[in-house]
Protein backbone atom coordinates (compact mmCIF):
# COMPACT_ATOMS: atom_id res chain seq x y z
CA UNK A 1 0.00 0.00 0.00
CA UNK A 2 2.91 2.35 0.71
CA UNK A 3 4.35 1.80 -2.75
CA UNK A 4 0.96 2.34 -4.37
CA UNK A 5 0.54 5.62 -2.51
CA UNK A 6 4.03 6.67 -3.53
CA UNK A 7 3.23 6.02 -7.20
CA UNK A 8 -0.08 7.88 -6.96
CA UNK A 9 1.50 10.86 -5.20
CA UNK A 10 4.24 11.11 -7.83
CA UNK A 11 1.75 11.20 -10.71
CA UNK A 12 1.33 14.70 -12.10
CA UNK A 13 -1.82 16.51 -11.04
CA UNK A 14 -4.75 16.11 -13.41
CA UNK A 15 -3.35 12.99 -15.07
CA UNK A 16 -5.92 10.16 -15.19
CA UNK A 17 -5.21 7.26 -12.83
CA UNK A 18 -6.69 3.81 -12.40
CA UNK A 19 -5.87 1.20 -9.77
CA UNK A 20 -6.36 -2.32 -11.12
CA UNK A 21 -6.33 -5.14 -8.57
CA UNK A 22 -7.81 -8.52 -7.69
CA UNK A 23 -9.91 -9.32 -4.65
CA UNK A 24 -8.43 -12.82 -4.17
CA UNK A 25 -5.00 -13.71 -5.53
CA UNK A 26 -5.19 -17.27 -6.82
CA UNK A 27 -1.58 -18.29 -6.22
CA UNK A 28 -1.52 -17.34 -2.54
CA UNK A 29 -5.21 -17.13 -1.61
CA UNK A 30 -4.61 -13.77 0.01
CA UNK A 31 -7.35 -11.15 -0.04
CA UNK A 32 -6.73 -7.56 -1.10
CA UNK A 33 -7.07 -4.70 1.35
CA UNK A 34 -9.99 -3.37 -0.70
CA UNK A 35 -10.99 -0.67 1.76
CA UNK A 36 -7.44 0.74 1.83
CA UNK A 37 -7.30 0.78 -1.98
CA UNK A 38 -10.61 2.67 -2.11
CA UNK A 39 -9.32 5.26 0.36
CA UNK A 40 -6.18 5.84 -1.71
CA UNK A 41 -8.21 6.06 -4.91
CA UNK A 42 -10.45 8.73 -3.40
CA UNK A 43 -7.47 10.62 -1.97
CA UNK A 44 -5.70 10.74 -5.36
CA UNK A 45 -8.79 10.91 -7.60
CA UNK A 46 -8.14 7.54 -9.22
CA UNK A 47 -10.59 5.07 -10.71
CA UNK A 48 -10.69 1.52 -9.36
CA UNK A 49 -11.04 -1.72 -11.32
CA UNK A 50 -11.48 -4.79 -9.14
CA UNK A 51 -11.20 -8.27 -10.63
CA UNK A 52 -13.40 -10.66 -8.65
CA UNK A 53 -12.58 -13.65 -10.88
CA UNK A 54 -11.43 -15.83 -7.98
CA UNK A 55 -14.15 -14.68 -5.59
CA UNK A 56 -17.46 -14.88 -7.46
CA UNK A 57 -19.80 -17.61 -6.25
CA UNK A 58 -17.66 -17.97 -3.11
CA UNK A 59 -17.94 -14.68 -1.22
CA UNK A 60 -20.81 -12.35 -0.42
CA UNK A 61 -24.47 -12.99 0.35
CA UNK A 62 -25.34 -13.35 -3.35
CA UNK A 63 -21.96 -14.65 -4.49
CA UNK A 64 -20.90 -11.35 -6.08
CA UNK A 65 -17.48 -11.43 -4.43
CA UNK A 66 -15.38 -10.00 -1.64
CA UNK A 67 -16.41 -6.39 -2.29
CA UNK A 68 -20.04 -7.40 -1.79
CA UNK A 69 -19.15 -9.36 1.35
CA UNK A 70 -17.44 -6.29 2.80
CA UNK A 71 -20.21 -3.91 1.70
CA UNK A 72 -17.79 -2.02 -0.55
CA UNK A 73 -18.98 -2.91 -4.05
CA UNK A 74 -20.67 0.48 -4.50
CA UNK A 75 -17.30 2.20 -3.91
CA UNK A 76 -15.57 0.42 -6.81
CA UNK A 77 -15.77 2.01 -10.28
CA UNK A 78 -15.51 -1.21 -12.30
CA UNK A 79 -15.82 -4.84 -11.22
CA UNK A 80 -14.98 -7.73 -13.52
CA UNK A 81 -15.53 -11.42 -13.12
CA UNK A 82 -15.95 -14.70 -14.88
CA UNK A 83 -18.82 -17.10 -15.15
CA UNK A 84 -16.52 -20.01 -16.07
CA UNK A 85 -15.20 -20.90 -12.63
CA UNK A 86 -17.62 -20.65 -9.70
CA UNK A 87 -20.74 -20.61 -11.89
CA UNK A 88 -19.68 -23.40 -14.27
CA UNK A 89 -20.79 -21.77 -17.52
CA UNK A 90 -18.86 -19.51 -19.89
CA UNK A 91 -18.35 -15.80 -20.37
CA UNK A 92 -17.49 -12.91 -18.16
CA UNK A 93 -18.77 -9.53 -17.14
CA UNK A 94 -17.84 -5.99 -16.27
CA UNK A 95 -20.10 -3.81 -14.15
CA UNK A 96 -19.93 -0.15 -13.19
CA UNK A 97 -21.62 3.20 -13.64
CA UNK A 98 -23.29 3.58 -17.02
CA UNK A 99 -21.01 6.44 -18.11
CA UNK A 100 -17.91 4.30 -17.50
CA UNK A 101 -19.42 1.25 -19.20
CA UNK A 102 -20.39 3.39 -22.21
CA UNK A 103 -16.79 4.60 -22.45
CA UNK A 104 -15.55 1.01 -22.59
Positions marked catalytic: 85
CB 72 within 8 A of CB 55: no
Give the separation between CA 100 and CA 104, rounded to whole angstroms.
7
Return the closest-CA partner of residue 15 out of 44, 40, 36. Answer: 44
Amino acid sequence: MHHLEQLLSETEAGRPKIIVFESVYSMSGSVSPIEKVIKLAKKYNALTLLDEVHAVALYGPTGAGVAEQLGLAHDIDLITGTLGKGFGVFGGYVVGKDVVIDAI
